[in-house]
Amino acid sequence: MRKLEEIIREYYIESLGASQTDERYPMFLQIAISGLRDLSNDLQQVVTDVVLPVNDNYTVNLPSDYIDYLLIGQLRGGQIHSLGLNNNMGPLPKDSCGNTIPFSTTEGNENSSYFLDFNSSHFSEDGQYVGRSFGLGGGGNSIGTYKVHKELGYIALNNFAGDEIILRYVSNISKVDGNFMVDEYMVEALKAWIFWKYVHRKRSYGLGEKETARTEYSREKRKAQIRVSRFNIPEFMNAYKSGFRSAPRM
């Protein structure tokens, strides 16, 4: 992930030969935001990764630009491990003063503690699921479960021991600023968009140069679409097990 302002700064160096941003930065920022909007329309989403603190009541406040989540997990050993979805968790109860009360360590999670490790015997060497896990429904997870209450503005956690989570979510483009984190796959396409829209407004560039800039953007956009849509086995297995409950054969 890259900050939008860093991408604009790189554009200054690569395309304009300037060592630092100048009074044109607000213009380039607005052009970049419109480019993100165009990319999100065709790539379906602009994704943001953030590390968020866990509140004392085992909730996590949703970002102001949050639309929908793609992953909720915890960083362990340099890798993100997903928490389990638990749709049975309702909103947190409140005390007489209106403050939310966290669930107990077992309340709201009826599934056994369970974490599907792709290095375990549940998978063959080529990553195919071979079973060996019976009676476990979607959402069971050894590091905790979650339920997103978007209308209330928080994520409720259960059986989770940690100070922070990693949230990967779809962002609202209308609230983008220079600190917005852009998916690495979109960086080159976004730079191409900025250059195209910049030269399109300049009389000093000929029609041929403008058409070349438009073609370059289309090419980089297609590359981004291919990279974003690549099939991912762990993502498939997470979706597969979310609605699957296996049972031993008699």
Residue 241 lies in a domain: no
**What kind and span of H or E run contains 17?**
none
Q: In angstroms, rounded to a whole number, what is the distance separating the alpha carbons of residues 244 and 50? A: 29
Q: Does the residue 250 lie in any domain?
A: no
Per-residue pLDDT of 162-196, as tens digits, reads 999 999 988 777 777 888 888 888 899 999 999 99
Q: At what angle do helices 4-11 and 25-43 cross, to 10 degrees?
A: 120
In a domain, 246, yes or no: no
Amino acid letter, residue 35: G
- The reply to whether 17 falls in a domain is yes
37 part of a folded domain:
yes
Domain match, 20 and 99 both = no
197-204 mean pLDDT? 90
CA distance 211 to 167: 39
Dihedral angle over CA of 176, 181, 186, 187, nearest 10: 100
**Tokens coding 243:** 């609605």
How sure is the predictor about 246, in pLDDT bands with cuts at 50, 70 and 90?
A: very low
**Residue 139, pLDDT above cutoff 50:** no
The range of the structural domain enclosing residue 214 comes to: 2-44+183-228
Domain-located, residue 248 = no
The number of helices, as runs of H, and strands, as runs of E, in the chain is 5, 10
Judge if 56 and 19 occupy the same domain: no
Do 110 and 88 belong to one domain? yes
Per-residue pLDDT at 103 = 58
Residues 162 and 216 in one domain: no
Please, which residues bridge with residue 158 across strands? 145
Please indicate, yes or no, whether residues 58 and 154 belong to a single structural domain of this protein.
yes
CA distance 117 to 112: 15
Give yes or no: residues 60 and 167 share one domain: yes
The H or E element spanning position 36 is: helix 25-43
What pLDDT is stored for residue 20 in this prediction?
A: 83
- Overall number of domains in the chain: 2
Task: Return the pLDDT at 154.
Answer: 94
Q: Is residue 244 part of a domain?
A: no
Position 243 in a domain:
no
Q: What one-character-per-residue DSSP string does 120-133 give? A: STTB-TTS-B----
State whether 118 and 64 are in the same domain: yes
pTM, two decimal places:
0.51
- pLDDT over 70 at 230, yes or no: no
Q: Are residues 38 and 76 in the same domain?
A: no
